[in-house]
């Protein structure tokens, strides 16, 4: 287990007792866990865990010491050891007051599960309102299942509950595949589950929104450039004007947004950027066509699979997987959330022509800006997800322990 301990650059407030926090996350640079910070379409050397940790550190730097625990790519073997270590610290008197875990549960062949799939799997009558009250029944299903993956999940849920019982307040991210998504780790008793909003407090279309979610915090954050004079020095995710991601961590290409962003308010009459937009968005249009084709094929397969063939792993390779893929596609591409820099298939040229203010905003000087988190900050990219709402909630809790008021993100 790789444990990295890093104290903040500024020490906690001298008059306050030390508050400790832990971040459990992926800190490796495997392809699926790195992000494109500078918006050029190329992933950078910045891990999921690094972003979560820097958000928490930036917000809690004056009143907390933070330890990063790397769950690596092997979530299940690592998590029980990490949770045991935190519990041990608590019992021995070095209490970790807050644990931030921005990880989703992974079961067998997929990482996000919807209420619909969970209902078919457990046989329980589940919906967004009664999910919380059926929490223990779902956990019991994992305990008694013949599937080893569910047994491991049960053990992790119980280990989380033991950490909470030993003195930690536990913050868990919700899911990112729509309002019906369930992070099964969040079934643990006593966990504070965090959903995501934009900077204006509007619940994000990708965020879980059901009875397991306790609070909602900002989960989409604009990436802005930081300059000294006219020289670019790095990038900021937290609205504090300091460099959080240095230049050596990014690929350094031209941000995609600059290829499609108009300069004047009369964008509807300005056709010059359309050829460039066509070049950037053509892969998205092609992918959308392919997704529509696959949805039709999935519908055919669903009708052909025996509804009651729930036997062992067979179901994961048949109806459960098909339902999960279908739900994920519909949630991702049927909503209003716009992810321009990820080439979301929802964004096609005709959409920009018809409704360009979905993608760009006009500031008080009449300048067109890209403002994905609705904070009013000019951006070149953004990060989004319940993962990045969770450290906001964690920092607020740590601040409350010290009677400190945290600054607004706006």
Q: Which has more pLDDT, 114 or 108?
A: 114
pLDDT at 335: 37
Is residue 339 within 8 Å of 284, Cβ to Cβ?
no
pLDDT band per the 50, 70, 90 thresholds, residue 63: confident
Strand boundaries in 105-185, DSSP class E: 113-114, 169-173, 181-182
The average pLDDT across 332-354 equals 42
pLDDT at 296: 64
The average pLDDT across 162-181 equals 94
Residues 6 or more apart from 149 whose CB is under 8 A from it?
107, 108
CA-closest candidate to residue 146, choices 325, 310, 307: 310
pLDDT band per the 50, 70, 90 thresholds, residue 349: very low
Q: Which has more pLDDT, 202 or 105?
A: 202
Q: Which has more pLDDT, 351 or 16?
A: 16
The average pLDDT across 165-177 equals 95
Strand boundaries in 96-237, DSSP class E: 98-101, 113-114, 169-173, 181-182, 192-197, 215-218, 220-228, 231-236
Query: d(Cα 188, Cα 158) in Å, to the nearest integer?
Result: 7
62: buried, middle or exposed (CB in 10 Å: 19+, 13-18, 0-12)?
middle
pLDDT band per the 50, 70, 90 thresholds, residue 348: very low
In this structure, how many other beta carbons lie within 10 angstroms of the beta carbon of residue 216? 23
In this structure, how many other beta carbons lie within 10 angstroms of the beta carbon of residue 274? 15
The average pLDDT across 316-321 equals 40
Strand boundaries in 76-144, DSSP class E: 98-101, 113-114
169: buried, middle or exposed (CB in 10 Å: 19+, 13-18, 0-12)?
buried
The 10s digit of each residue's pLDDT in 123-145 is 999 999 999 999 999 999 999 98
Give residue 44's Cα distance to chain centre: 17
Average pLDDT score over the chain: 76
Answer yes or no: pTM beyond 0.75.
yes
Given a cut of 70, whether residue 10 has pLDDT beyond it is no
The 10s digit of each residue's pLDDT in 287-306 is 555 555 666 665 665 555 54
97: buried, middle or exposed (CB in 10 Å: 19+, 13-18, 0-12)?
buried
pLDDT band per the 50, 70, 90 thresholds, residue 8: very low
The average pLDDT across 318-337 equals 46
The average pLDDT across 161-186 equals 94
Is residue 358 within 8 Å of 337, Cβ to Cβ?
no
């Amino acid at each position: 287990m790789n444990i990295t301990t890093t104290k903040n650059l500024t020490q906690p407030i001298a008059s306050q007792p030390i508050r400790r926090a832990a971040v459990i996350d992926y800190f490796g640079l495997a392809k699926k866990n790195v992000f494109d910070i500078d918006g050029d379409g190329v992933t950078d050397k910045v891990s999921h865990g690094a972003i979560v940790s820097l958000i928490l550190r930036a917000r809690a730097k004056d009143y907390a010491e933070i330890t990063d625990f790397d769950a690596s790519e092997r979530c299940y073997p690592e998590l029980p050891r990490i949770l045991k270590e935190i519990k041990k610290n608590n019992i021995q008197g070095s209490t970790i007051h807050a644990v931030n875990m921005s990880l989703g549960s992974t079961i067998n062949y997929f990482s996000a599960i919807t209420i619909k799939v969970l209902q078919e799997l457990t046989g329980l009558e589940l919906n967004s309102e009664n999910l919380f009250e059926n929490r223990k029944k779902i956990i019991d299903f994992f305990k008694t299942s013949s599937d080893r993956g569910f047994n491991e999940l049960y053990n992790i849920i119980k280990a989380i509950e033991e950490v909470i019982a030993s003195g930690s307040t536990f913050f868990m991210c919700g899911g990112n595949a729509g309002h019906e998504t369930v992070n099964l780790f969040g079934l643990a008793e006593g966990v504070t589950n965090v959903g995501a909003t934009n900077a204006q407090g509007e619940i994000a279309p990708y965020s879980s929104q059901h009875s397991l979610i306790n609070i909602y915090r900002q989960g989409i954050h604009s990436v802005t450039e930081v300059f000294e004079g006219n020289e670019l020095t790095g990038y900021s995710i937290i609205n504090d004007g300091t460099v959080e991601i240095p230049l050596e961590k990014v690929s350094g290409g031209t941000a995609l947004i600059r290829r499609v962003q108009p300069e004047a308010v009369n964008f509807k009459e300005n056709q010059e950027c359309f050829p460039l937009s066509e070049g950037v968005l053509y892969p998205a249009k092609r992918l959308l066509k392919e997704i529509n084709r696959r949805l039709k094929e999935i519908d055919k397969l669903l009708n052909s699979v025996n509804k009651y063939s729930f036997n062992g792993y067979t179901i994961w390779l048949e109806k459960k997987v098909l339902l999960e893929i279908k739900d994920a596609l519909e949630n991702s591409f049927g909503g209003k959330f716009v992810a321009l820099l990820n080439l979301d298939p929802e964004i096609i040229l005709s959409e920009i022509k018809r409704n360009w203010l979905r993608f760009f905003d006009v500031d008080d000087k009449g300048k067109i800006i890209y403002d994905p988190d609705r904070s009013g900050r000019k951006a070149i990219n953004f990060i989004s997800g319940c993962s990045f709402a969770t450290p906001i909630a964690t920092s607020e809790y740590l601040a409350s322990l010290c009677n400190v008021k945290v600054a607004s993100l706006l």
